Homo-oligomer: A and B are copies of this chain.
Amino acid sequence: MKLIMAIVQDKDSNMLQNEFIDANIRATKLSTTGGFLKSGNTTFIIGIEDARVEEVLALIKKTSHAREQFMTPPVSMDVTGDSSLSYPIEVQVGGATVFVLPVEQFRQF
């Protein structure tokens, strides 16, 4: 048995939670803020048998890895009232930090 703590961006957390449900993996969700990222993030706590650790890591990687995305900034207007053209820019989204911890006892009541 291992305990996996996974910190992902809020925007990826719903999709990841659905992956866990599909795979019958029990995950508990903590609302966290953090680190260098200003945006909110979500921490999952997952208890999992040793044989399925790599499967959990693969789901986290697939759903939450850092990637580039094009985003169109909101249109800005200058003092004359002219709106300047707004070009899509590339931003990085996603990213996951994951700890796999040893467990001495796992109990369910």
Residues of A within 8 A of B (CB): 1-3, 5, 7, 21, 26-36, 41, 43, 45, 47, 53, 57, 60-61, 64-66, 94-109
Q: What DSSP secondary structure best describes chain A's contact surface? A: strand
Question: A86: shortest Cβ distance to chain B, in Å?
Answer: 31
| Complex Cα–Cα for A106 and B60 (A) | 13
| Complex Cα–Cα for A2 and B103 (A) | 10
Verify B109–A100 contact, CB threshold 8 A. Answer: no
| Complex Cα–Cα for A11 and B47 (A) | 22
Verify A28–B35 contact, CB threshold 8 A. Answer: yes
- CB contact under 8 A between A108 and B104, given known A27-B34, A32-B29: no
Question: A22: shortest Cβ distance to chain B, in Å?
Answer: 12
Verify A103–B100 contact, CB threshold 8 A. Answer: yes
Verify A101–B100 contact, CB threshold 8 A. Answer: no
> Which of A60, A64, A66, A97 has the most C-beta atoms of chain B within 10 angstroms of its own C-beta?
A97
- Chain B residue with the shortest CB-CB distance to A60: B109
Q: Given contacts A99-B103, A99-B105, A101-B103, list 4 more A-B pairs with CB under 8 A.
A: A2-B104, A28-B33, A57-B105, A97-B107
